[in-house]
Structure 1
């Protein structure tokens, strides 16, 4: 705190715990800079986006080459330089659009805090919290600032995201709480003692909501290729300069022009650009479906997902529930049972969905409380003790009364797809360390859950796409199996009780491979299940909405949270479904596959160009003949066979699941295709140089025709399977090249310095091109056979 602010802080008044800070006290702290000023999002600023797209290694390389052409001319040979402006502009615009989309959606899905101010409770964004604010805490709430507990009613805090310890910590008045943890059970209040960057885990929330363009196999593979190319540029440039001086004399301009023509196509800067555009467009498309992507690499992860672990409640079924009936047991009467349920309903100030449904159906008798035990997903029960009315618990029948006829009856009812809770009377106070003690069953409480109308179609989509769905729930296994079976999930009629699962990871993985529905799963088991599936090589997506899902969401390859879920789940998930619709998930997976599949497709084009460019530079330099192309020639070929087609192919539909080994797979086609294109061009050029009647321009034209036709056939191979728009794309490329080759009007052969008038050289060019196309086709056939064999 600055010196000027110290007198203000000394005069600061302390808050009233019951009413919270007043408006004047809030203003004091804001003026003193005591605000929670950690940025909610860690995305790049506009200035950083502009600098990152302008000052790149590739813009520097191509910019230097463009500057050389501006000096020596003619300007037609510098057309590649304008690609820098276009590419940079597109990159900036797309990333700014993605930034705006992410920020707008992040506000909707932001975890908000319930803060007491002026005697009222207001929901505020974390950045609006100030020092000494009194913040109310309830199940699922994310703790956004460090503080001390002011009130606690069965308050349990999960600090696993900070410490790695999965057991919740019981908190009492005066205990510290840390930002980055979350409330797993109970209610209470805290006073903010450290805010902003002084908080213990201030960076955790920032990291949880950061989107980035790094740390993905796709981008690391591309960067690896580009690094190798960068190292090749300097020796290739030296070789070309030496070769051109040796063949065209001491004309420095011609030598530099040949060097530029050889080096420009070696740099696949468009591949980096299209990767960024594809990611950004993916974010925007998903944003329109109310899907917040908190990390861009999550799109790539989704493309590789082969297993989806889904909770039943909130995913297959709606969050809300309705009290269907109360079934008294023994000597208990329904009227008395409903009174107990009504008392339990108001005992918890932040009830879960089940208790809220019970409370809606049973009025409170107004009994005085003597103790509470908030519901915990780990122990599967909650309860309250009442003065003069005993100790009552409500929870899972097979936990509170395992092995009894009442538990068997509950399982029978649960087999119909209903949720069943047991109300029982305990011989111990519910806040006793030995609770629940001996429980006497009093009633079965039957709740109805509505199956989401889109759930069946979503499960069918995953089955068609070879993605296995595992339903992992804390509810009774038979009940969960009944719901899943109604949606035609395979093997749902043989659900597994998670209490019978082995603890050993290898044995657990074997059980998971053989079943699809699991009930009575604890939060720790959900996490173990994700790890066991990953140990078998599966890429796992986990969906959830409750605090019991946080650990599994954090460990899954892709965590998907519902927008209405707890703030803790939204904080750790890479993807948030703001519309709470399970039906959005297929679109998310499809978008990931589209992005990654198309990037791999266009990478074949760019790397084919890189391979033939390197080969041409080395071969022409070694043979000692003039470089056959002007820079404008390679600009024409690259634009028509790679640049323009790649932009459309990168945004096309693609449903194939991505697999690891991106670099190896791309080079299988790009390397042989590039070698064929390079060798074919060299053979054509050497053959036509022997034709004394052909001018140097006609000789270059023959080389241009051969290289274009072979590169066009690579485009044909990559574009398969054909649709009408892909056919139009290839035909438009051929028509544009024909215009440049034959037409005398604007952007015709004079502009490109082409002359197809020498018949024998054109015939040689066509024959070599046909042979090259046949070899590319053969190479593609071999690659397809190998890939098919690898999938089988």
Structure 2
């Protein structure tokens, strides 16, 4: 029936392409190159820095405007990283997107989703996603799941003339539908278009940063007004010097690198994972990776390979039934064979002369069996022994299954397979034993998760004993597997069982979804891996959906991450990348906010005291680069194995607020002790500024030393480099002249150094105290194990 359709001719396709009737969808990676450039150049931070840069240029002191390079750096790094991520996503999305089969000129062609034209005939089989809206032309027991559109989990039978909507997917049977609404007109066209889109949408991390920046922006306005008023009303101060000191006060208040490094860390994560054939379809998924506490893994296709082989056919009829002939007829008459039927086909070729099929019941995960009724040859079903057989047969099959094999029952029935009461009364004919091939990397991958304190839940539709045998061989658990048919209804008891057990068999698609929800109700962040149609609902509801590249198009469409090379062993790298991004962004956020807090506090107190700002723009630029900017950049790229926890804002402020106030307090005290109040000479002003800068550098760099913990050799080197650099600057006459430093007054310098040592001690004490208040165990040293060696 389906093979009689001829579809559009080549000429008709060309006409529709010329008329623009093509399934054109929005760009996969969201923003165009021009939009990316504009978004990274025209920012609030760049705008503030540019205005201050113009002010400094007006004074003629070009060297003091070196902070203007931040505009170029901010924009360039952001543009480069986002373009790299865009290119990576575009390349990977071509592999990961749905490729529908269209009928043209009577032949079948697999094309890209974007090449579908109006009136195309599109063939679908189980697992295929409906890519455009249309109406069914031909159907062979076609059932479609529209839960992604309607929320209703029950599949809907579709016949000729029925409407199908993009975003739905086929769960059973096969069929052909005509494309009637394409591109932007399709009901759910944006679902697949958004799937591979590079976005910086809401996430807990970005929301926390935005909340912090909002508070900072509120503080900046009054402090900036006060600073401008005070600096321009200093007696005997030229306007050029007033402009420079005003700029020196305002520039450090802007956390110019925080948003940049956050975006860069996300984008770099996309690129790194792309190199491992991991398609990140939603950028905040990077953050979700770091927070995962439970991984729900489907056995088939995740822990075991898709390919199975027939190990044995156990005759239950003493030779009364020609088993090989029946199986060959079932193979020949199945238009959409699943993995089990493909394994049987590998051992028993399709019959050359077919029996006439009068009814068919495609396999579904809910009923666990399939069948065909033949004219004059009876009704035959094949499926799970514990579903189709009696208790004795189920026990016999389970005894085989506990060794890790998969067992199917072949049986004849007295009822047509499409009857409501099917399968009816059955007569067992044979047990078919299938050998499952375990992925060679599965054991090491599961060991990695155990080492990282991430729980593994194996959820499968197969027999619980068989699943348990496979998982025991992989070292998942020593607990007994749970038959999901004996689980209590959703509720507290259900959630407790799911939370306490590790291996589940005979799980229906709806139960998989309920298990994800139950784990989430117990405070877990859940990642779900899968590749089949029966995994779609759970993937959709999980905090992080991970699909296999060779799996059903529907699973790839709803997942946040697609493992294009089907390697389960890629998941540790995916997890590690998420932790690197989140952990490092939190680390550098503490540095940037410390600078903002001490800059705002300094400007506020100095302004209220009516004194000139102690620093020049160039001095603060150097401090910003070598105490904050460069170290933060390096820290943001480093590996980080710590699991992300909620409370990003509170933890960041718990470090940044006391550290910023200590830096500001030490600087203010030094400034007042070395300069005093009232009007002073330019020499005293420069000497006091130098001493104050010394105290600030010593204290602020020790903030870097605490934030860099736990120490590794390169982090110690980073802190040592910062202190060595500043020592070189103060010891070299050329640098001192360039930065307007005067160390000739021993008393002032002594005061600055002593204040700096006190500041370092206070920062150290604050680090220990705040850790104790948060009930954390501070670590001075720590060497995370290499990812490859974690499981050994």
Tell me the residue number matched to 1:323: 310
Quote the offset at 1:81 in angstroms. Answer: 0.9
Give the alignment partner of residue 724 of structure 1, picking from 689, 713, 720. Answer: 713
CA distance in 1, matches of 2:608, 2:715: 39
Quote the offset at 1:144 in angstroms. Answer: 0.3
CA distance in 1, matches of 2:163, 2:538: 26
CA distance in 2, matches of 1:272, 1:249: 40
Tell me the residue number matched to 2:788: none
Tell me the residue number matched to 1:417: 404
Tell me the residue number matched to 2:295: 308
CA distance in 1, matches of 2:241, 2:220: 19
Tell me the residue number matched to 2:251: 264
CA distance in 2, matches of 1:514, 1:203: 39
Q: Work out whether 1:384 is the aligned partner of 2:372.
A: yes
Tell me the residue number matched to 2:787: none
Quote the offset at 1:297 in angstroms. Answer: 0.3
Quote the offset at 1:383 in angstroms. Answer: 0.9
SS across alignment from 1:710: helix
Give the alignment partner of residue 530 of structure 1, picking from 516, 520, 540. Answer: 516
1:281-331: CA deviation from partner (whole Å, max 9, x where unpaired): 111111111100001100100100000000000111011111111101134
SS across alignment from 1:443: strand
Quote the offset at 1:16 in angstroms. Answer: 11
Moved more, 198-207 or 572-581: 198-207
CA distance in 1, matches of 2:562, 2:293: 19
CA distance in 2, matches of 1:17, 1:207: 36
Quote the offset at 1:164 in angstroms. Answer: 0.2
CA distance in 2, matches of 1:646, 1:239: 30
**CA 1:64–1:150 in 2, change beyond 3 Å: closer, same or farther?**
same
CA distance in 2, matches of 1:434, 1:675: 76
CA distance in 2, matches of 1:741, 1:250: 26
Give the alignment partner of residue 44 of structure 1, picking from 18, 23, 31. Answer: 31
SS across alignment from 1:186: strand
Q: How does 1:481-492 map to 2 (within 5 A)?
A: 481-492=468-479
Give the alignment partner of residue 327 of structure 2, picking from 333, 341, 346. Answer: 341
Q: How does 1:130-529 map to 2 (within 5 A)?
A: 130-249=117-236, 251-333=238-320, 336-365=322-351, 366-401=354-389, 403-492=390-479, 494-529=480-515
**Aligned 8 A contact 1:40 1:127 in 2:** no
1:618-639: CA deviation from partner (whole Å, max 9, x where unpaired): 0000111111000111111111
CA distance in 1, matches of 2:213, 2:319: 76
1:9-68: CA deviation from partner (whole Å, max 9, x where unpaired): xxxxxx997121111010111112211111361521101100100111111111111111
1:529-548: CA deviation from partner (whole Å, max 9, x where unpaired): 00011011100000000000
Tell me the residue number matched to 1:738: 727
**CA 1:507–1:372 in 2, change beyond 3 Å: closer, same or farther?**
same
Give the alignment partner of residue 695 of structure 2, picking from 706, 723, 729. Answer: 706
Q: Work out whether 1:107 is the aligned partner of 2:107.
A: no
SS across alignment from 2:173: strand
**Aligned 8 A contact 1:39 1:127 in 2:** no
**Aligned 8 A contact 2:134 2:163 in 1:** yes
Q: Work out whether 1:774 is the aligned partner of 2:761.
A: yes
Tell me the residue number matched to 2:602: 616
CA distance in 2, matches of 1:553, 1:734: 50
CA distance in 2, matches of 1:71, 1:333: 102
SS across alignment from 1:246: coil
Quote the offset at 1:260 in angstroms. Answer: 1.1
SS across alignment from 2:437: strand
1:709-751: CA deviation from partner (whole Å, max 9, x where unpaired): 1011001111112222222222222222223222134xx1111
CA distance in 2, matches of 1:513, 1:197: 43
CA RMSD of superposed structures (Å): 1.6
Quote the offset at 1:110 in angstroms. Answer: 1.4
**Aligned 8 A contact 2:29 2:90 in 1:** no
SS across alignment from 1:695: helix
SS across alignment from 2:180: strand
1:539-581: CA deviation from partner (whole Å, max 9, x where unpaired): 0000000000000000000000000000000000000001101
Quote the offset at 1:504 in angstroms. Answer: 2.5
Quote the offset at 1:333 in angstroms. Answer: 4.9
Quote the offset at 1:695 in angstroms. Answer: 2.5
Give the alignment partner of residue 57 of structure 1, picking from 41, 44, 55. Answer: 44
Tell me the residue number matched to 1:640: 626
1:132-151: CA deviation from partner (whole Å, max 9, x where unpaired): 11111100000001111111
Quote the offset at 1:273 in angstroms. Answer: 0.5
Give the alignment partner of residue 103 of structure 2, picking from 97, 109, 116. Answer: 116
1:633-685: CA deviation from partner (whole Å, max 9, x where unpaired): 11111111100000000010100000111111100011000000000000001
1:752-789: CA deviation from partner (whole Å, max 9, x where unpaired): 11122221111111111111111111111122234445
Tell me the residue number matched to 1:760: 747
**Aligned 8 A contact 1:17 1:134 in 2:** no
Quote the offset at 1:343 in angstroms. Answer: 1.2
Tell me the residue number matched to 2:75: 88
Moved more, 239-248 or 499-508: 239-248
Quote the offset at 1:277 in angstroms. Answer: 0.9
Tell me the residue number matched to 1:8: none
CA distance in 2, matches of 1:759, 1:386: 104
Q: Work out whether 1:557 is the aligned partner of 2:546.
A: no
CA distance in 1, matches of 2:318, 2:160: 41
**Aligned 8 A contact 1:669 1:783 in 2:** yes
Quote the offset at 1:790 in angstroms. Answer: 9.1
SS across alignment from 1:512: helix
Quote the offset at 1:252 in angstroms. Answer: 2.7
SS across alignment from 2:363: strand
**Aligned 8 A contact 1:38 1:127 in 2:** yes
**What TM-score does the superposition give when structure 2 sets the normalisation length?**
0.95
SS across alignment from 2:350: coil
**Aligned 8 A contact 1:685 1:702 in 2:** yes
Q: Work out whether 1:651 is the aligned partner of 2:637.
A: yes
Quote the offset at 1:177 in angstroms. Answer: 0.8
Quote the offset at 1:363 in angstroms. Answer: 2.4
**Aligned 8 A contact 2:481 2:504 in 1:** yes
Moved more, 659-668 or 200-209: 200-209
SS across alignment from 2:640: coil
CA distance in 1, matches of 2:4, 2:164: 17
**Aligned 8 A contact 2:270 2:280 in 1:** yes
Tell me the residue number matched to 2:576: 590
**Aligned 8 A contact 1:491 1:517 in 2:** no
Moved more, 716-725 or 606-615: 716-725
Tell me the residue number matched to 1:9: none
1:491-520: CA deviation from partner (whole Å, max 9, x where unpaired): 34x000001111133221100121100000
**What TM-score does the superposition give when structure 1 sets the normalisation length?**
0.95
CA distance in 2, matches of 1:381, 1:111: 27
CA distance in 1, matches of 2:211, 2:777: 24
CA distance in 2, matches of 1:337, 1:163: 43
SS across alignment from 2:337: coil
**Aligned 8 A contact 1:248 1:626 in 2:** no
> What is the aligned length?
772
Tell me the residue number matched to 2:784: none
SS across alignment from 1:650: helix
SS across alignment from 1:375: coil
**Aligned 8 A contact 1:458 1:583 in 2:** yes
